[in-house]
Structure 1
Amino acid sequence: MSPATLSRRLANLEFELGQLLFARSPTGYALTKEGRVLLESCTSIENGFSALSSSLEAAAEEPTGTVRVATSENIANLILLPRLPNFLARYPLINIDFQTDVQPVPLHAREADLAVRVSMPERGPFKVRTLGTLRHALYLSGEIISDGQEINLGVIGWSENCQSLPIARAAMAHRYWRESSVRVSSLKGQVAAAQAGLGYAYLPCLVGDHTPGLVRIDGPENYLSQDIYLILHDDSIEVPRIRAVANFIRDSLHETKDMLAGSIIGMGSDA
C-alpha cells in the first residue's frame, strides 16, 4: 500500500485503541512502549494462527500450495533452478517463490517459509541445518593474463556501504589489496569489473568458476569459507509442501557440494 494509506490506517488504529503506538519524527516512525507491548501480543497471536494453519496443512495427503524461499541469486540461478523441473514433475501442485533480494528477508515477519543463507538466523523459533560450505578464491580476466597486464592490478573494491560484509573484509585483507578507483556494491558488479580487466575479483567459487572469461588465480585454500544454512520456522517443518521443498534444497546442495567448495572448475581453469 502507499505510505499515505499506511499512515492513515496507523492513525485510525491509534484512535481506536486510545494509545500512541508510534513516535513520529522527520527521520521516520519508532515504536512507543505501548506499541512494543502490542507488537509482542500480535506476534503471539500470529504464531498461533500459523501453527494452526500448519497443522491443518500437515493433514493434507498431497503437498500443495506456495513455498517462499529466501536465498541468494547465485544459489537460486546456478543450483536450484536448473534442478527444479524434476522436482515440479514430482510435485505439480507446489509453487515456489524465490526471493533473492540483496537485503535478507526477515524471517520473524514470516515473509519467507524457509531461507538458505551463509549467516545464522536471528534469535527465534527456528530450526537450522548446515547444508555445505561456500568457499572463495581470486579470479582475473583471461585476456589480462594473456597480455601480461596483471602485475599492476589490485583486488576490486566494494562500495562503502558493503564493507562490513565478510567477503568485502576478506578482499580488503588480501595481499593484492590497494585503494581502487572502482568500487561496486554487488557480486554481479565484481564479475563485470573483473571481466572488463579492472582488477582481481574475490568471488565465491560457485560464481567465479562458472563465469566465462575469468580464470582462477589462487585459492580456495586460505580464502574465505562460509557455512550454508537451511533455516525453517519450528512449526512449518511438518507441512508437506515445505518439507518437500526443504528436502529438494538439501539434496540439490549436496549434489553440488564440490562446486560450492571450489573442487570442480567450470568454464574457467586454474592459472
Structure 2
Amino acid sequence: MRASWDDLRIFLSVARGGSLSAAGAGLGMDPATVGRRIARLEEALTAPLFVKSPQGYALSGAGERLLPHAQAAEQAALAAEDAVRGQGERLSGVIRVGAPDGCANFLLPQVLSRIGAAHPELELQIVALPRVFNLNRREADMAIGVSAPTAGRVTVQKIADYRLHLAASRVYLDHAPPLATLDDVKNHRIIGYIPDMIFDKELDYLSEIGVSRVDLASNSVSVQFNWARQGAGLAMVHGFAMPAGPELIPVLPRDSTLTRSFWLIRHADDRRVHRMSRIAALMVGEIRAELERLEGAA
C-alpha cells in the first residue's frame, strides 16, 4: 500500500500536535482512529514514524525523513485547491498566525477581525508564544517576528516599523521621585522581561536605554503593560498599545523612545499558493494601517 495524501495529512497533524488527541481535535477525528491510521501508515512504510512517551509523540528518524515530503504534498494539495477555486473568489480554510505577545494582543485581533469580516469562510487563529515559531514544523501557517530570520526555508517581508516608549501611569508618577534624565530611572521601580526568557535580542529594550535592573518581570508584554497601568512602575510600552492604556504617559521621550520592526515570515513553498499570498498581502496592509492609526492616536 502506498501512502495517500489523507495518510500524510494525518501524519502531519500528529507531528504538529504532538499527540493523538491534539491531532484528532484538529482533524475532527477520534484519537483512537488517528492512532489506527498512523499504525496502518507505519505498517505500510515498514518503519516507525513516532517515538511514543508519556510526554506525547515525537518524530522518529523515519518520521523526520518523511516530514518534508508530507509538507510538499500539503503544498501541492493547497495549490490544486487554488487552481480549482480560482483566484478571485472569497478566501476560505484555516489560517494560523503566530506572533509575539504584544502584536498578538494589541494588533492582530482587530486586523484579523477585519479580514475575517471580508472573508467569512476563513477560520483565523492567533497563537501568541514568547519564542520564535518553527514554520518548518508548521506551528503556524505564517508568523510575525521582531527580527528577520537568516536561516531556514522561509521568505521574509518587512511589514513596518513601530515605536516603544518608556511610560508609567499618572498615579505612579505623582508619588515617584523626579524624572529629568535617564540617570534618574535608577531611582524607580522597573517593569520588564525576565532576563533569561528574552528570546530575541530585539526585545532587550531596557539595556538599550542603560537599565540593568528589573524589579517586576514577566515573559508577557501584556502582564508588563497591565503592571504599568496599575501604577507599579516604569515599563517600555509599545506605541500601538498606548491607546489601550489611557492611564499611561510617556516619559523622557527624547531619550527613551526606541524603534523596532515587524517582519512577516512564511514557509518558502507558500509562495506558490495564491491563497496564502493573498492572505499575507491583506495582513501586511491591515497591520500597516492599524499601526498608523494606533500610533497616531497615541
Q: For 1:128, which of 156, 168, 171 is the aligned residue?
A: 156
Q: Structure 1 residues 198, 87: closer, same or farther in 2, change over 3 A?
A: closer
Q: Structure 1 residues 136, 75: closer, same or farther in 2, change over 3 A?
A: same
Q: How do 1:205-244 residues align onto structure 2 when only pairs under 5 Å count?
A: 205-208=239-242, 210-219=244-253, 224-233=258-267, 236=270, 241-244=275-278
Structure 2 residue 80 is the aligned partner of structure 1 residue 55: no
Q: Structure 1 residues 93, 244: closer, same or farther in 2, change over 3 A?
A: farther
Q: Structure 1 residues 60, 137: closer, same or farther in 2, change over 3 A?
A: closer
Q: Structure 1 residues 111, 119: closer, same or farther in 2, change over 3 A?
A: same
Structure 2 residue 198 is the aligned partner of structure 1 residue 163: yes
Structure 2 residue 92 is the aligned partner of structure 1 residue 65: yes
Contact 1:68 1:98 survives alignment (8 Å): yes
SS in 2 for 1:43: helix
Percent identity of paired positions between Structure 1 and Structure 2: 23
Equivalent position amino acid for 2:146 in 1: V
CA distance in 2, matches of 1:256, 1:224: 19
CA distance in 2, matches of 1:132, 1:65: 26
CA distance in 2, matches of 1:96, 1:251: 19
1:18 corresponds in structure 2 to 46
Relative contact order, higher structure (CA 8 A, sep 6+): 1
Equivalent position amino acid for 1:115 in 2: A
SS in 2 for 1:47: helix
CA distance in 1, matches of 2:96, 2:266: 10
Q: Structure 1 residues 207, 93: closer, same or farther in 2, change over 3 A?
A: closer
Q: Give the TM-score of the pair, scaled to structure 1.
A: 0.73
Structure 2 residue 231 is the aligned partner of structure 1 residue 197: yes
Between Structure 1 and Structure 2, the one with more helix by share is: 2
Structure 2 residue 189 is the aligned partner of structure 1 residue 154: yes
Give the gaps of 5 or more residues in structure 1. Answer: 267-271
Task: Map Cα deviations across residues 188-242 of structure 1 (whole Å, 9 max, x no partner).
Answer: 1101221233221122222245412111113476654332123345555576654
Task: Map Cα deviations across residues 167-192 of structure 1 (whole Å, 9 max, x no partner).
Answer: 65332454343252x32221111012
Contact 2:242 2:248 survives alignment (8 Å): yes
